[in-house]
Chain A
Amino acid sequence: MAHFDTTTNAGQLLAAASGGRRRRGDRIFSNISVVAAVTILALLVGVAVFLVTEGFPAFTAASSELPDHESFLSYVAPLAFGTVLAGVLAMVIAVPLAVAVALFITHIAPPRLAMLLGFFVDLLAAIPSIIYGLWGIFVLGPAAVPAMKWLEEKLGFIPIFEGPASITGRTMLVVGMVLAVMILPIISAVAREVFSQTPRKLQEGAQALGATRWEMIRTTVLPFGRSSVVSGAMLGLGRALGETMAVAIILSVSGGVTFNLIGQANPSTIAANIALNFPESSGLAINALIATGLVLFAITLATNFLARLIIARAEVK
């Protein structure tokens, strides 16, 4: 072996160990990743620029030139409301369900059942949204009619169940349920991943104190997974806000703003509205549709920003 008593010897060793090949590999890898990162940014900026330039004419146009002859703001407001309502409804249904499913798979079910169930939940994500739409209008909607009638009779004093209940089932409630099923796999996949990574030493720490399984989950698994679950929920919300086909097919649209989830008249959502009206639009009407797309873009961005803020605040404590 080499003795490090001469400088030449040491220098040769270092040179030999450094070898040109590995350096080049590093350089290529770093170039590829920089290009990938810049591409993402460029795409995002490109989309934003398109939305702003194409949508801008609608902001300044006179009411008479726009669809329905109203100002852009009063055109987009009910759509934005419908979008947010559908998204919130989907979250209210999907998040608790997804968390429960993830807990069941990671901490309660026997391993073989857990694997099977996990597989089926993942499969939900592979179903195209047009299929969900058809299922919603032909199966879930009609099936929900008696339930909605019941809600109207028993809980009609709550404004969201005011009714009169739809007889077709093409309501906001059904849309919310279908969207919830669609975003369930995303949220539960994220939750499952993080729940299964809860450090064993924390779980055992709780159990050694005499915690039941639920108490152990409450003190260790849920706090550990909280910020990831919020991130997963935001991913799901993003999909729910932007979902087009399922909403366009199921929802019976009348415009306007209402919290009534089970009635015949529902506000549309931005994405569904674009899909339904684009073929028959021309001129400024197209600009108006694109401008609503910009509003959707802004809503999505804002919810993501808000979620990150909530996570950051919760983390510092």
Chain B
Amino acid sequence: MEGRKLRDMFGSESKPGTEAEEGRNTMSQAGPVTETSSQPQGAAASARRAKTLEAKEVNLYYGDFHAVENVNMTIEPNKVTALIGSSGCGKTTFLRSLNRMHELTPGASVKGSIQLDGEDVYGAGVDPVAVRRLVGMVFQQPNPFPTMSIYDNVAAGLDFNAGKIRKADKDAIVERSLRGAHLWDEVKDRLGRPGSGLSGGQQQRLCIARATAVSPEVLLMDEPCSALDPVATLAIEDLIGELKKEYTIAIVTHNMQQAARASDNTAFFNLDESGKPGHLVEIGPTQEIFTKPKKKETEDYVSGRFG
């Protein structure tokens, strides 16, 4: 796994940077597709070390509005990091900056650096498309492609950038991803049916399968359960516990029980008052944040005194 570099996955827009030499060395041994098919089958199979995401002095803006101020934090590999905090404190904005989705909003900009195993995803000449292949995302609303079948939804990401891929490989990846998302048994007899015909919880698991099919290093989840009922929520939380064996996971949640149940580390975001930028108050092992946080405002929040 260590062979994968952002710079391997450049399109034609790439400019040779300082690390280009290094990138070229690894390119031949590891294209994204061949690697995918040689990976262990099934999420429950032997664990692998995913990559670390590290934010350094990250400041985020929408036009002139300073949305997130000076965040320094590490999202540890093969762990679930929960981002909690009241509405408008910038946790979703921060999450979206991690795979360069933030800049898709017109006028949005980023300062600081975010490093994936030491490589800056905002580095000169790094293609955001390559970043998003390594740092996948699951959204608040399940968003399967409505005109595509279940199979095509899972395979959608494989067709991007990847050139031709053998049908047998594709079948294997689709099955592995659906098994990994605990959805295979429910849909294996109707892979050709539209993904939009599934229930909300199933659709969200379909989206997780779709995100994992391209074998990312990191999975970002933006309140993935907020549109789901409690049973479906529990299913997703179980799934998250499985997925961390393969991936580094960051999850934004408004549900504090969910943060407590599903995460290893918790980061608490807050803002002083409306209109001021949000900032990271503290980050630590979930156990600690919920029982003996270092800061008073964290304690107020997790004990339900505000927010």
Task: Write the residues of chain A forming the contact surface with B, with a CB cutoff of 8 angstroms.
Answer: 111, 199, 201-202, 204-212, 215, 219-220, 223-224, 226, 317
Contact = CB atoms under 8 A, between A and B. Distances in A.
Given A210-B130, A210-B160, A202 B146 contact: yes
11 contacts: A201-B141, A204-B139, A206-B160, A208-B132, A209-B157, A209-B214, A210-B129, A210-B132, A211-B157, A212-B160, A220-B145
Contacts of B137: 204, 208
B269 to A, nearest CB: 21
Contacts of B194: 317
A215 B145 contact: no
Contacts of A201: 139, 141, 143
B141 to A, nearest CB: 5
Given A205-B145, A205-B207, A210 B139 contact: no
Nearest to A208: B137
A215 B161 contact: yes
B11 to A, nearest CB: 7
A201 to B, nearest CB: 4
Interface residues of B, number: 29
Nearest to A222: B147
Contacts of B148: 219, 223
A196 B4 CA distance: 36
A212 B161 contact: yes
Determine the main DSSP class of A at the interface with B.
helix
A284 to B, nearest CB: 53
B139 A211 contact: no
A150 B211 CA distance: 51
A207 B141 CA distance: 15
A210 B161 contact: yes
Q: Which 5 A-B pairs have the closest CB atoms?
A: A210-B133, A209-B157, A208-B137, A223-B147, A205-B143
Nearest to A202: B143
Nearest to B9: A210
Contacts, number: 72
A206 B145 contact: yes
B136 interface: yes
A134 B146 CA distance: 46
A206 to B, nearest CB: 7
A209 B148 CA distance: 15
Given A212-B161, A215-B161, A207 B145 contact: no
Interface string B132-163: 11001101010111111000000011011100
A224 B147 CA distance: 8
Interface in B203-243: 207, 210-211, 214
Interface of B: 11, 99, 101, 104, 106, 129-130, 132-133, 136-137, 139, 141, 143-148, 156-157, 159-161, 194, 207, 210-211, 214
Contact of B99 (A202, A208, A220, A317): A208
A108 B194 CA distance: 29
B160 A215 contact: yes
Nearest to A205: B143
Given A208-B137, A208-B211, 11 more contacts: A201-B139, A205-B143, A205-B210, A208-B99, A208-B132, A208-B136, A210-B130, A212-B161, A215-B160, A223-B146, A317-B147
A46 B13 CA distance: 62
Contacts of A207: 101, 104, 132
Most chain B beta carbons < 10 A, residue from A199, A208, A211, A317: A208
B25 to A, nearest CB: 23
B298 to A, nearest CB: 30
A206 B156 contact: yes
B139 A219 contact: no
Contact of B160 (A199, A209, A226): A209
A194 B211 CA distance: 27
A31 B210 CA distance: 51
Contacts of B143: 199, 201-202, 204-205
A226 B148 CA distance: 13
B205 to A, nearest CB: 14
Of B139, B147, B161, most A-chain CB atoms within 10 Å: B147
Contacts of A211: 129, 157, 160
Given A202-B143, A223-B145, A212 B11 contact: yes
Contacts of B214: 209-210
Contacts of B144: 205
Nearest to B144: A205
Contacts of B146: 202, 223-224
A199 B140 CA distance: 14
A226 B211 CA distance: 26
A226 B210 CA distance: 23
Contacts of B145: 202, 205-206, 219-220, 223
Nearest to B141: A201
Contacts of B161: 210, 212, 215
A204 B210 contact: no
Given A202-B143, A202-B146, A219-B145, A209 B156 contact: yes
